[in-house]
Structure 1
């Protein structure tokens, strides 16, 4: 292979990505009353360098092809870090993680004439065989205004 991609350092497991997204959906999606605890200022923006994004794109295209997918995009999911010491100052705060999307390559031996009559109606979906990417830089404090 000419230029194999380096495995991005921000990869997380699919299971952890689901935890992040579930936490966000259950806690941040609806407004809740403030608790008596001291509130930490949450992230309202996440930043990735171009180098990190280009490396991830190169990685998912290459690994996706190996897994039999045509990678066509990246879906961004909101998540929330679990409230435990393992995540330090990020515990309970918002994050954003990236998941590659694509279509499984269909190996079809149908004649070319018949192929013109076929319409590809398969939609792009999350490619679960590839690791999501996390750990961008958060915009706090102070909050960023767009």
Structure 2
């Protein structure tokens, strides 16, 4: 009887070892490429195509070079995403993204208001806590700007502000 139990135990260990060897445990957080990636060549084309609009706006409205970009640190963005998730939940939304807006500061006595870019949280309104159907949650796509949600602004401008890609 002992030999049979040892044989079964050894067989089970062998099967487990073979399974683990043939099917290694992979990291559950496998990286995938984000949708919408563009190459540096495509970035340059988009940047150059914007030149005429930028020149038209800057030359007709202000006499100083206007901003072409905003820079945010990874820490700022990660912190903002966590903040936006919590605030969205408090406001009855599920955060599903961030919308990037172009804006401009108001003119002051010191000079014209320059361009800025800022993030606004987007999400879907939580309709029912018991529903597991995405359509019932208002989901299935790009959410609306979260009413009452704080945005993220005050990124650093380019050096110099009107610099094209790459800086």
TM range (shorter): 0.5 to 0.7
Give the aligned partner of residue 31 of structure 1.
56
Aligned length: 110
Moved over 2 A (4+): 28-35, 118-123
Q: Is the 8 A contact 2:58 2:65 kept in 1?
A: no
The TM-score, its normalising length taken from structure 1, stands at: 0.62
Tell me, in whole angstroms, the C-alpha distance in 1 between the residues paired with 2:155 and 2:148: 22
Tell me, in whole angstroms, the C-alpha distance in 2 between the residues paired with 1:58 and 1:34: 39
Aligned Cα RMSD in Å?
3.0
Give the aligned partner of residue 78 of structure 1.
102
1:130 aligns with 2:149: yes
The TM-score, its normalising length taken from structure 2, stands at: 0.55
Q: Is the 8 A contact 2:58 2:66 kept in 1?
A: no
Tell me, in whole angstroms, the C-alpha distance in 1 between the residues paired with 2:87 and 2:158: 31
Secondary structure class of the residue paired with 2:56: coil
Give the aligned partner of residue 145 of structure 1.
165
Structure 1: unaligned runs, 5 residues or longer = 1-27
Instruction: Give the greater-gyration-radius structure (CA).
Output: 2
Distance 1:131 1:95, change over 3 A: same
Give the aligned partner of residue 125 of structure 2.
104
Higher relative contact order (CA 8 A, sep 6+): 1
Whichever structure has more helix as a proportion of its residues is 2
